[in-house]
Amino acid sequence: MGSLEDLYSDVPQDVIYRQEYDLPDAMSEHEVRQYFEELAEQNTNLFCLCGLGAYDHYSPAVIPYIISRSEYLTAYTPYQPEVSQGTLRYIFEYQSMITELTGMDCTNASMYDGATAAAEAMMMAMASTKKKTRVLLSEGLLPQVVNVVRTYAKFNGVELGFIPCLDGATSYGAMLAELAAGDVAGVLVPGINKYGIIEDFTGFADAVHAQKGLFMVYSDPSSLAVLRTPGEWGADVVCGDSQSLGLPLSYGGPYVGFLACRKDYVRKLPGRIVGATRDVDGKRAYVLTLQAREQHIRREKATSNICSNQSLMALYVTVYMSLMGPQGLRQVNELSYGGAHYLHDRLLETGLFGKIFDKPFLKEFTLKSLIPVETLQDALQMIGVFGAVEVEEGLVNFCVTEKVSRENIDAVVEYLKELGA
């Protein structure tokens, strides 16, 4: 091969770009840093009062220091356990803590985000039930989750059915009707839905299992410190995004999805599972125990193409969970709960909102905006607040975490009262 043109000889000539690229001249390191600093100054830092799958929880300052320690600076995938004990240990601890939160038997470490974890849960249901072709999704799932699952389904021959919501929660009766139609491999529902409502799954698992399907729950892992676990609801598979476990919003990522299941389905789980053992000296050691679905292991028979993971993000949330502990996670949710209910009641005082659901919520909720949503959003942005994200036409989402004080809430509410005057 004598030239670059020879390398691309198989590429159709009419699609090859042959003009000059409009690129700036080369810059020094200092100039590049200055350029991006000036670019970053154009961002507007807004005070966050919205949720819908990404939450502004406090992240302890010590975490970046801990995750940069040399023990964790080993390459993933850790195929050589003798030189990867730091990485293997925190993956093992991540798995242990996620299984405890979800009430499942095992978990992987980890997925790219919550949406892809949900899509892989759908594929687990298909692989576990063989000849069935349908998976049911609750219409209460986050829109971004539904969109990704829909894409996976389209290219894997999966037929999706949708269970409507009744009074803000997944309709049990509608699910029974869909199950009665047959051919259902699994049902995926949200623990906390897009309206912020905490769902009640009484009878759901029994109904799905009666049709030989998998009952799957999409969960916010932080909330599981105070809510009934999916395992207690009878779930077979649990998925979600671990972003709520201390990961900064970071303009949308990187985040880290989790996928957990009962032991019966562990060989359908994508990713790698780390186990604890003893070395030749009898000391505790960690190894890759299982990687059953990997493309590089099973080639064309693989049911997943996950060949790596968000290892650094998994480490981040592992350190967060270790620092917070059960009591800390409980306190985060209690503070968020108190703030969210305070904001909910105070917003209704403004006369700009109407209450539409009378169901329990934790840290986020949905109200009907009595003024144009765009007007409301623009008004909030004028005072540096990002909130009132439109869930459905005229319905807006608000969320409060432990970072939001009552003084912050009062200031926003007083401003909105003036807007409505």
* Amino acid occupying residue 346: R
Instruction: Assign 389 a pLDDT band (cuts: 50, 70, 90).
Output: very high
Mean pLDDT confidence for 115-131:
93
Distance from C-alpha of 157 to C-alpha of 284, rounded to nearest angstrom:
44
* Beta pairing, strands 159-163 & 214-219: unpaired
Distance from C-alpha of 27 to C-alpha of 224, rounded to nearest angstrom:
49
Instruction: Assign 18 a pLDDT band (cuts: 50, 70, 90).
Output: confident
Strand partners, 395: 368, 392
* Amino acid occupying residue 313: M
> Using omega within 30 degrees of 0 as the cis cutoff, is the peptide bond preceding 230 cis?
no
Which pLDDT value is given to residue 72?
A: 78
Distance from C-alpha of 12 to C-alpha of 244, rounded to nearest angstrom:
47
Which pLDDT value is given to residue 372?
A: 96
User: From 2.60.120.260, 3.40.50.1820, 3.90.1150.10, 1.10.3470.10, which CATH number describes the 47-57+325-420 domain?
Assistant: 3.90.1150.10
Which pLDDT value is given to residue 273?
A: 87
Task: Answer whether residue 304 shows pLDDT above 70.
Answer: no
- Residue 214 phi/psi, 5-degree rounding, is -100, 135
* Beta pairing, strands 273-278 & 257-261: unpaired
**pLDDT tens digits, residue range 204-218?**
999 999 999 999 999
For residue 233, what are the contacts with CB-CB under 8 A and spacing of at least 6?
201, 204, 205, 215, 217
Task: Answer whether residue 81 shows pLDDT above 90.
Answer: no
Task: Answer whether residue 356 shows pLDDT above 70.
Answer: yes
Mean pLDDT confidence for 105-112:
89
Distance from C-alpha of 271 to C-alpha of 273, rounded to nearest angstrom:
7
- Sort 82 into a burial class: Cβ within 10 Å, 0-12 / 13-18 / 19+: exposed
For 247-374, strand residue ranges (E) read 257-261, 273-278, 284-290, 353-354, 364-369
Task: Answer whether residue 290 shows pLDDT above 90.
Answer: no
Exposure of 223 in the CB half-sphere (CA atoms within 13 A): 27
**pLDDT tens digits, residue range 134-151?**
999 999 999 999 999 999
Greater model confidence, 109 or 208: 208
% of the chain with per-residue pLDDT over 90: 74
Which pLDDT value is given to residue 184?
A: 97
- Residue 323 phi/psi, 5-degree rounding, is -70, -40
Task: Answer whether residue 295 shows pLDDT above 60.
Answer: no
Return the domain boundaries, the chain.
Answer: 47-57+325-420, 62-320
Helix (H) or strand (E) holding 296: helix 295-298
The tokens describing 48, both together, are: 């966050």
Task: Answer whether residue 31 shows pLDDT above 80.
Answer: yes
User: 198: which DSSP letter?
Assistant: B
Task: Answer whether residue 405 shows pLDDT above 80.
Answer: yes
Query: What mean pLDDT value characterizes the chain?
Result: 92
Task: Answer whether residue 309 shows pLDDT above 60.
Answer: no
- Residue 381 phi/psi, 5-degree rounding, is -65, -25
Q: Which residue has the tokens 């949503």?
A: 373
| CATH architecture under which domain 62-320 falls | 3-Layer(aba) Sandwich (3.40)
For residue 298, what are the contacts with CB-CB under 8 A and spacing of at least 6?
292
Of 186, 165, 185, 183, the C-alpha closest to 174 is 165
Residue 326, Cβ neighbours under 10 Å: how many?
12
Of 114, 183, 170, 104, the C-alpha closest to 137 is 170
Of 239, 192, 215, the C-alpha closest to 340 is 192
Distance from C-alpha of 319 to C-alpha of 325, rounded to nearest angstrom:
10
% of the chain with per-residue pLDDT over 70: 93
Distance from C-alpha of 106 to C-alpha of 237, rounded to nearest angstrom:
10
Q: Which residue has the tokens 């890759």?
A: 288
Distance from C-alpha of 31 to C-alpha of 391, rounded to nearest angstrom:
42
Which pLDDT value is given to residue 181?
A: 95
